[in-house]
Structures are given as C-alpha cells and as structure tokens.
Amino acid sequence: MPETRIAVDNHACAVCSQLDNHPMIHTDIPDWVDLEGRSHQFPSFHFDCLPPELEYRLGNDDTHPQHYNTRQAIKAAREGTHGEDLRHYIQELADQFNDNAYGELNPHTFRLGGNDDPEQSVDDETRRRADELQRAYQSVRGNE
Amino acid sequence: MSKFTTFANDVLDLSVPNGSSGTVTVGSTTYTLPFKVELTTTVSTAGAAGTAFSGGSYAAQTLAGNCTTAAASASKSTTGTLTYSNMPAGTWADVFIKDSTATPKNVIFRGGSSLAKTVNAGDTCLISSGNLTATES
C-alpha cells in the first residue's frame, strides 16, 4: 500500500532558502546569522546545508549514537540522497542502530558502559554496517 | 529578597547538573540523576509540563556530560549538543528538564512563546552547545 505523506514542512532552509519536503535539521538557536549577515530565529537546515560550525558541535568522536546517526544522514545527503530516500535511510539507521536511549540501546551495536552512560559509543561493527547501508543507497540511486 | 550570586550558582548547578548518577535533594524531594531534556509539542507552564514527543527514535536526551562548566554569574549553559535524530512528526514547541526516577519529576522548563518548528518524520532536532541556558535572579 503506498504511503501517503502530507507535506507539512513550512520552514525554508536558512542556507538555500528552499521550501520543500526534504528532511531537515531544526534548531532552537535564537539568532543564527548567515554569511550575508541575515539573522534567523530558530533556523532549520537541510541535512546537506547544515553550516560547518553547527556540524562541528555534533562532534566527531562517535560518543553518542544520536549524533552518529545525524552525521551519517548529513554524509548521505551530501553524497546525493534526498527526500524520501533520505528518510528511509534515516529510518534504517534507526532500526539497525537503535538509539532509543536509556534502556533500549542495542547491546550488539553499541558498546555500553551502563544505562544512561554518556560514554556510550559506536563500535567498529556499527560503523561498518552504516557504511554498507550508505553504499547500498548510493548504488540504488546510481541505477535510477 | 534576592539570592546571592554564589547561592544562585549552586541552585543552577543543582537544576542543570552534569552528573550521570546519584541523587540530589531539595527540601523533602529527592531527584535522581541524570537529568534529561524533553522536547515537547506544547508549551510548558509552571503547573504542567508540555506534551513530550512520542514515536520514531525520540528519547529524552541526558544532560550528563553536557554541562561540564559550573554556573557563573547566575547563569549556566550546556557544553554539549543535544541531538534528537529520526524524530516523529509534530510541532516542536518547547523544552523542559526532568529527573530520572521511574515516574520522572519535572524540574525546569523554557516556556514562553512556542518554538513552532514543524518537524517531519525523520528530521533531527538540535539543541546546540551553549544554547540551553538557565539563569537565576
């Protein structure tokens, strides 16, 4: 049965100004200023439009599964996965690397120091499977 | 009457703790660490927390390890980014902090005007480092 999705995005990307239904990253930054000096209240960004200074704040040490999944989505978007393909990719990441935090983390994919442990991290197997997923999506897109 | 700054800072370190375990007691009520940040679809008031998101991969994110700098000048901000990936659809309206007891106790909330961010399934919400700030006066 085809999925019916109602386009409810009503926020233009603060970087590219496009108003569309691609997955977005929403922030609660009260006054983000773009390169042209324009101020944006609570800006939203496409995954591949997220400014470097905000991406930097996600860190790069794989210490948090939600950060990790978002970084993977950013990477996929920059390599050409958008729209529903990106949504499906994000969902598959979530399904495989369940980061419903605090008691529901998948012990097979995340190394845990204990419930609620902020030091939870992504192991090599998780990274390998995420890379496989991404390659699979790129392959599908390449055949479209 | 006003709080002395040193006491206000202590209150903030209690309200926005960096710890991952243990308890803090205020009056006769004991709160369990870590404290967590909920995103809500409605705005909180002093009498009632907003309705937390539910679905997707949504889960309240911990403050543990994300508030490493002690309060100063009656203000305390997060030092790490709180990331909520694979969100369910809804409207991101507000934020509040709760403790980790089985039936969580609400601590502090943002309130005021709604963030009014339309969130689609699969989106990510970020509270970037330094952007969640609590103040005492």
For residue range B92-110, list pLDDT tens digits in order. Answer: 999 999 999 999 999 999 9
Q: Which residue of chain B comes nearest to A53, CA vs CA?
A: B128
A8 and chain B in contact, CB less than 8 A: yes
Question: From the first residue on, what is the mean pLDDT of each consecutive set of 10 residues in chain A (144 residues)?
Answer: 46 89 92 91 94 83 77 94 95 72 38 37 59 62 51
CB contact under 8 A, A87 and B62: no
Cα angle, residue B84 at apex, residues A65 and B98 outer, rounded to 5°: 105
B65 and chain A in contact, CB less than 8 A: yes
B101 and chain A in contact, CB less than 8 A: no
DSSP B92: E
Interface with chain B: mutation pick from A33, A72, A90, A122, highest number of B CBs within 10 Å: A90
pLDDT tens-digit series, residues B49-95: 999 999 999 999 999 999 999 999 999 999 999 999 999 999 999 99
In this prediction, residue A53 carries a pLDDT of 87
Q: Where are the beta strands (DSSP E) in A1-144?
A: 24-27, 32-33, 39-40, 44-46, 110-111, 121-122
Q: Amino acid identity, residue A43?
A: P
Q: Are B81 and A59 in contact (CB under 8 A)?
A: yes
ipTM: 0.91
Q: What is the DSSP string of A107-137?
A: TTTEE-SSTT-TT-EE-HHHHHHHHHHHHHH
A73 and chain B in contact, CB less than 8 A: yes
Backbone conformation region of residue A44, classed left if phi is above 0, alpha if psi is from -120 to 50, else beta: beta
> What share of chain B has pLDDT > 70, as a percent?
100
Q: Which helix (H) or strand (E) holds B125?
A: strand B124-127
CA distance B122 to chain A (A): 5
Contacts of residue A3, defined as CB under 8 A and 6 or more positions apart, other chains included, come to none
B40-78 core/surface letters (b: 16 or more CB in 10 A; e: else): bbebbeeeebbebbeebbbbbbbbbbbbeeebeebebbb
B21 and chain A in contact, CB less than 8 A: yes
Token pair listed for A94: 């979530």
Nearest to B86 among A9, A69, A116 (CB): A69
From A123, A72, A121, A63, select the one nearest A93 (Cα to Cα).
A72
CB contact under 8 A, A10 and B122: no
CB contact under 8 A, B126 and A28: yes
Q: Is the pLDDT of residue B11 over 90?
A: yes
Give A77-84 contacts, CB < 8 A, sequence gap 24+: A77/A23, A77/A46, A77/A47, A77/A48, A78/A47, A78/A48, A79/A134, A79/A138, A80/A138, A80/A141, A81/A134, A81/A137, A81/A138, A81/A141, A82/A22, A82/A23, A82/A46, A82/A48, A83/A21, A83/A22, A83/A23, A84/A5
A56 and chain B in contact, CB less than 8 A: no
